[in-house]
Amino acid sequence: MTSLAVYIEAHRTALAEINDLIADCSDEQLAVQSLCPDWDVKACIAHAVSIEKALTGWEPDPEHLFDFGIVGSFMEQATAMDADTFRAAIRDIGDARLAHLESLDPAIVDQPSMTPVGPQAYGNFLQIRVFDMWVHARDCALPLGIQLPDGGTTAEQAVNEVHRSMGYIAGKKIGLEDGMSMTVHITGGAPRTFHVAVDGRAGLVDSVDDPTVTLTADTETFVMLACGRVDPQERIDAERISWSGNDEWGEKAARSLRFTM
């Protein structure tokens, strides 16, 4: 489990990235459609950061999540805010959340907690939050034509969240068959190599000999495809994701990474 100090630093970086992203946005830019179909840039940012507002003061609970009413209430309030007021509100929420995290006992990362994906350790919940903010920042930055950094602790934790789901992705989404295997090379700011093999069921393994397919993608492409945010064909055409080995399965893997939305 990653330490609380690392999670706090990742939250600090993720929140700062969001603040920097909207620092010069006009009301018109905040109204640009994000990569989330139901939200413009303002609503997408409001959603991501309002969860941090709801989590401020909330202690890990193994049975119940935080009060989602706080999220809905802030998102509704945000619709009436001009750009300057919105920026200030987002900054204040982030500051309060960081102060709350810094007040916690480091051992809290091991405490059982309900999370959006079921009961896990609170540290896993913190990783999910970094992942969520990292993705939503890019949901907004890409339509605005802004290229955000693809490295650092936030990118590492975003990759972690997809990495730990690769057994499910390989087995259920890509559909690799028994006896098949896959190696994934992630390039860019959060480079990593990992392997999946199917032996009855798909799972992460330490190594594979002669993988059925080897998939290579940059950090942003890998995570955003896994979240269903970008068009696989666009990233294939741009050579930001490629494959070797079995061509049919390689193409299927490149087009089937999506495991969340």
Q: Which domains does the chain have, with CATH numbers?
A: 4-147 (1.20.120.450), 162-255 (3.30.1050.10)
Question: What local confidence, expressed as pLDDT, does residue 108 receive?
Answer: 97
pLDDT tens-digit profile of 70-129? 999 999 999 999 999 999 999 999 999 999 999 999 999 999 999 999 999 999 999 999
Predicted structure pTM score: 0.95
Sign of CA dihedral 96, 99, 101, 107: negative
Give Cα separations from 166 to 150, 176, 205 (angstroms): 20, 11, 11
62: left (phi over 0), alpha (psi -120 to 50) or beta: alpha
Select from 184, 254, 193 the least CA-distant residue to 214: 184
Q: Which residues contact 197 (CB under 8 A, 6 or more apart)?
A: 180, 181, 182, 203, 205, 208
pLDDT reading at 260 higher than 90: no
pLDDT reading at 1 higher than 80: no
Determine how many CB atoms are found less than 10 A away from the CB of residue 8.
Answer: 17
